[in-house]
Each structure stands twice: as structure tokens, then as C-alpha cells.
Structure 1
Amino acid sequence: MTLAFSIFFLVFVAELIQWIGQSVLLELAYAVYLRLFYSSKITQQRNLKNEILTAKAELLLTSSQDQFAKWAKLRRRVDKGLAELEKLNGELGSARSGFSLKFNSMIWILTNGTQFVVGWWYRKSAVFYLPPGWFGPVTWFLSFPFAPAGSVSCGAWQIACRRVIKVGERVVKNLTSPSLVEKDAAVKAKEQ
């Protein structure tokens, strides 16, 4: 039965990642990655933005005709800061794209890749055997493609687990979200 639970766990993790959203997980993991490996760059970026904003505010208060030397100096400082910020943003952007590629590859390997490998490795193994005569001719389909007759194959078990998890997800969503009748009643109560 450990094979059945292992396959169920793999399918559950894949569906959980899909339910949460890969982009949400990417954003969370990237935030942690930045704090661990690029904290100095992030601090430098934040300080540079603050310097640029204060210089721009000072530039707006300075008259370009009356105080040209001061205005030109502030303008050069703002331009230099924007160039440095653009360079820093480029470095962080390339770090993000590299991290995104690695993270998405890791997620694919952990979900779809492991399911494929487990299905291929145990392709001739039975996850469990069915009692004789319970499902009639459907038992051939459940053992498809290589599992022994009268058993459930890894592929069929993965499909069944995925379907049960999807139904469970739908039930939980329906139980946790307010029904349309409750929403209509709330809207009418607000209108009165």
C-alpha cells in the first residue's frame, strides 16, 4: 500500500501547487531568495530610490533660470542616480529571470516529473488488486497498460487520485465560499 499512498501524495502535492498557484509560490520563494542572496542590492536600490526622490523634490523647488548652477548640479545628480538605478534594476531583473527558470523547472520536476518517473518505474507493478468480478470488463482498463490483470495500474491510480482531489477541492470551495443566495441577501441588506 505504500505505492498507493506515495502516488496519492505526489498527486496531492501537484494539485496543491496548482491550486495555490505557481506564480504565487514563485513570488514567495523569490522574496526569500532576495533576502538571502541579494539583501545588499535591495538595500542599495532602496537607498538610491530615496536619494533620487529627494534630489528630484529639491530640483523641482529650484528655479532653472535664477539658480542655474545649483539646478544643473541637481539635474546631473538625478540623471546619474537614474542611470545607476537602471543598472541595478537590470541586475536584479536578470537574477529574477534566472531564479524563475530554476524555480519553475524544480516545480515541474517535483510534480509532473516525479509522477512520470514513478509511473514509468512501476509500470508493470500493481498498486493493489481488485476483488474478482467486481468491475467486470472495466478491470482490463484499470490495469492498462502493463499491470497484471485484475489490478490497478499506476496510471489509473494517478487518474483516480487526481479526480478525487479535484472533487474534494470543489466541495471545500463550495463550503467555504458564501452561496449566491447569501450574497444576494447581503447586497439587498446594504441597499436598504
Structure 2
Amino acid sequence: MLSLVLMIVFVHIAIYLVNTVGASTIDLLVWHLYLKLPSSTSRNACEQQRLKKNVVELKREMNSTSSQDEFAKWAKLRRRHDKALEEFEAMNKIISTQKSSFDWTVKTARWLSTNGLKMFLQFWYSKTPVFALPHGWLPYYVEWILSFPRAPLGSVSIQVWNNVCASAVAVFAEMLGALLVQIIGQKGSAVPAEQEAKKAQ
């Protein structure tokens, strides 16, 4: 089983990713993945796309037909367009209802698996030391702070470890981001230099 130390690290990595990428982006990605599964919602989404395409085609055909010169054809297209638009709007309402229900489920699952899990771990393991400190290495007041609020003296509490992990993940992510920017910048500047060298030859 995953140790408490690593579990908290992974929870904070997940929280950081959700906060960085954005909850709405993740919800949209999960929605699109859900639509790939064989379900009634994905069938409704396919039907919605078909109806939308039909409405657009009828609108284009109707606009290219003169309402004065070819009134009978235009009126027939108008009736077909209105009927297709009505079907599309009805399907849109069904999809919107399903999407709002799905979004609520995803938001709940996301919160429970990140912040909810963090809060549960803090409550459940409040008296459990995350790891013990070597005896006599630190002064009494530092040991007391590290074990605050309820862990045994001479150990690190889950609350302190949570704060350490949150800070470490944020700092590490910033360092990684800066490193990636530097690498991309070097590659970007290397390409024009190669092109200039080829031109000079």
C-alpha cells in the first residue's frame, strides 16, 4: 500500500495540476472523452451534430434560393429548415441537461479525489506521525512546531507535511517551467542561427 508520505505528495501534485490546468479545461476534456464511450449521451451528441449540419445546409440552400423568383422552392426549404432547427434545439436542451448533470458529477469526483481526500487524511491521521525525527537533533520548540497540532512530540504531523508538500510542489513546478522555457528558447534561437549559416554558405 502507498505510504502516507507519498500519498500526500501525490494529492498535492493532483491539486496543483487541477489549479494550473484549470478545472473547466479538465471538465471539458473529460466530457469529450465521455462522448467517445458508447452511451445514450454520445448517441445524442452524434444526432445533435447531424441535426446541426442539416440546419446549416438547409440555411445555405435557402439563402442561395431567391424568395421572389423561386418562392415555392424557398418556402419548402424554409419549412424544412424550421423543422430541422426545432429538432436541433430540442436535442440541444437534452444535451445541455445531460452535460450539466455530468459536470456536477465530475466536479464532485474531482473535489473528493483532491481537496476532499486531503481534508480526510488530515482528519483521519491527525494523531499519526508522518515520520519520526531523530531524537535530540532539533530543539524542543522546533519539535513542538513540527508535531503541531496533535502528532506525538519528535515527529512531523500531517498538517505540517501538507504545507511542506504544497510549497515544494509549487517551487518544483516553477523550476520545471523555467527550465522548459529556457530549453525552448535555446532551440528557437538555434534554428535561425542554422538558417543563417546555410545562407552564408
Q: Could you state the TM-score of these two structures normalised by the residue count of structure 2?
A: 0.83
Aligned to 1:55: 58
CA–CA distance in structure 2, aligned partners of residues 98 and 40 of structure 1: 17
User: Which region of structure 1 is more displaced relative to structure 2, 161-170 or 58-67?
Assistant: 58-67
What is the match of residue 150 of structure 2? Answer: 146
CA offsets, 1:66-118, max 9 Å, x none?
Answer: 22222111111111111111111111111111111110110000001111111
Q: How far did residue 64 of structure 1 move? A: 1.4
Name the stretch that deviates more: 75-84 or 11-20: 11-20
Q: d(CA) in 2 for partners of 1:156 and 1:103?
A: 30
Moved over 6 A (4+): none
> Which residue does the alignment assign to 1:25?
26
1:127-160 per-position Cα deviation (integer Å, ceiling 9, x unaligned): 1111234332222111111111111101111111
Residue 4 of structure 1: aligned partner: 5
Q: CA deviation at 1:35?
A: 2.4
Q: Corresponding residue for 1:164? A: 168
- The alpha-carbon deviation at position 50 of structure 1 amounts to 2.1
The one-character-per-residue Cα deviations of 1:33-91 (angstroms, maximum 9, x if unpaired) are 12222222122122212222221222122221222222111111111111111111111
| Distance (Å, rounded) in 1 between the aligned partners of 2:3 and 2:64 | 72
Between stretches 163-172 and 133-142, larger displacement belongs to 133-142
Structure 2: which 5+ runs fail to align? 194-201
CA distance in 1, matches of 2:46, 2:125: 50
Q: Determine the C-alpha separation between the residues in 1 that align with 2:5 and 2:182.
A: 35
1:135 to 134, 138, 141: 138
How many angstroms apart in 2 are the aligned matches of 1:128 and 1:54?
66
1:111 aligned residue: 114
Partner AA of 1:102 in structure 2: T
Q: Which has the higher contact order (CA 8 A, sep 6+)?
A: 1
How far, CA to CA, are the matches of 2:6 and 2:60 in structure 1? Answer: 62
Identity in percent: 38
CA distance in 1, matches of 2:49, 2:4: 50
How many pairs does the alignment contain?
189
TM-score (ref. length: structure 1): 0.87
Partner of 2:151, secondary structure, is coil
Q: Report 1:47-86 matches (<5 A).
A: 47-86=50-89
Question: Who is 1:90 aligned against?
Answer: 93
> Matches of 2:168 and 2:98 in 1, distance apart?
39
Q: For 1:162, give the aligned amino acid.
A: A
Deviation of the 1:5 alpha carbon: 2.1
Aligned mates of 1:3, 1:49 — CA distance in 2: 51
Secondary structure of the residue aligned to 1:176 is helix
